[in-house]
């Protein structure tokens, strides 16, 4: 499995068709720049179906998203944040800093 999320980008209106499952997601602007990396965990009422639109409301630049269904959503969320940090030198603009995040050196 690649470290980075390599699923195709979907328009935000497709979020209504998402499954009510656990997983991770990325929100991007029109140019495809990741603005937020989030997850739908055990406390998410309807999983990805509810978390993606809720996060998109908090990220005004969001125009598209991509998801990955996974039971290991916490680990995968941190992994995606670390990969983004390694690639871009910082977390996405709408992600809060996470203590003890760690660093990756993906190739």
Domain residue spans of the chain: 10-88
CB neighbours of 41 closer than 8 A, spacing ≥ 6? Answer: 22, 73, 74
Cα gap 58→54, rounded to integer Å = 7
- How confident is the prediction for the chain on average, in pLDDT? 92
Q: Other CB atoms closer than 10 Å to residue 79's CB: what's the count?
A: 20
Q: What is the pLDDT of residues 4-54, one digit of tens each?
A: 899 999 999 999 999 999 999 999 999 999 999 999 998 888 999 999 999
b/e map of 83-104 (b: 16 or more CB within 10 Å)? bbbeeeeebbebbeeeeeeeeb
3-class state of residue 58 by DSSP: helix
Average pLDDT of the residues in 75-93: 93
Q: What is the pLDDT of residue 39?
A: 97
**For the domain bounded by 10-88, which CATH number is listed?**
3.40.1440.10
């Amino acid at each position: 499995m690649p470290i980075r999320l390599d699923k195709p980008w979907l328009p935000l209106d497709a979020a209504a068709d998402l499954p009510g499952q656990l997983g991770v997601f990325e929100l991007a602007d029109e140019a495809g720049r990741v603005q937020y990396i989030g997850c739908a965990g055990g406390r998410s009422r309807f999983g990805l179906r509810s978390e993606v639109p809720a996060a998109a409301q908090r990220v005004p630049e969001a125009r598209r998203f991509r998801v990955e269904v996974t039971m290991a959503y916490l680990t995968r969320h941190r992994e995606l944040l670390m990969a983004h940090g390694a690639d871009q030198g910082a977390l996405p603009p709408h992600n809060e800093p996470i203590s003890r995040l760690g660093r990756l050196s993906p190739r």
